[in-house]
Amino acid sequence: MEKRPDLIAVDAGSTDPGPFYLGAGKSFTSRSAVKRDLEILLKGAVANAIPCIIGTAGGCGARENVNWTKEIIDELAKKNGLSFRMALIYADIPKDVVREALRTGKLTPLHPAPDITEEEIGESVRIVAQMGAEPVLKALEMNCQVIVCGRCYDPVPFSAPAIKKGFDPGLAVHMGKILECAAIAATPGSGRDCVMATLYKNHFELEALNPQRRFTRLSTAAHTLYEKTDPYFLPGPGGTLDLAKTTFTSLEEGRVRVSGTRFLPSDPYTVKLEGVKRAGFRTISIAGIRDPILIRQIDSVLAEIRRQTEKDSGATGNLLFHVYGKNGVMGAMEPEKDRLSHELGLVIEAVAPDPEQAASICACARSTLLHFGYPGRISTAGNLALLYSPSDIPCGEVYTFNIYHLMTVDDPVACFPITVYEVNR
> How far apart (Å, rounded) are the C-alpha atoms in residues 7 and 165?
12
**Confidence category of residue 361, pLDDT binned at 50, 70, 90:** very high
Select from 373, 386, 379, 380 the least CA-distant residue to 297: 373
Q: Which amino acid, 126?
A: R
Is residue 327's pLDDT more than 90? yes
User: What is the structure's pLDDT at 401?
Assistant: 96
User: What is the structure's pLDDT at 106?
Assistant: 97
User: What is the structure's pLDDT at 228?
Assistant: 84
**Could you give the dihedral angle defined by the CA atoms of residues 46, 33, 75 and 142, in that order, rounded to the nearest 10 degrees?**
40
> How far apart (Å, rounded) are the C-alpha atoms in residues 249 and 231?
18
User: What is the structure's pLDDT at 374?
Assistant: 96
∠ CA(254), CA(260), CA(264), 5° rounding? 130
Of residues 324 and 227, more confidently modeled: 324
Select from 213, 366, 172 the least CA-distant residue to 286: 366
Interval 265-277: pLDDT, tens: 999 999 999 999 9
State the average pLDDT over residues 236-249: 96
State the average pLDDT over residues 40-60: 97
Percent of the chain having pLDDT more than 70? 100
**Confidence category of residue 380, pLDDT binned at 50, 70, 90:** confident
State the average pLDDT over residues 168-176: 97
> How far apart (Å, rounded) are the C-alpha atoms in residues 9 and 27?
18
Is residue 425's pLDDT more than 80? no
Is residue 250's pLDDT more than 80? yes
Is residue 148's pLDDT more than 80? yes
Is residue 315's pLDDT more than 90? no
What pTM does this model have?
A: 0.94
**Confidence category of residue 226, pLDDT binned at 50, 70, 90:** confident
Average of per-residue pLDDT values in the chain = 96
> How far apart (Å, rounded) are the C-alpha atoms in residues 306 and 91?
42
State the average pLDDT over residues 159-178: 97
State the average pLDDT over residues 99-120: 95
**Confidence category of residue 229, pLDDT binned at 50, 70, 90:** confident
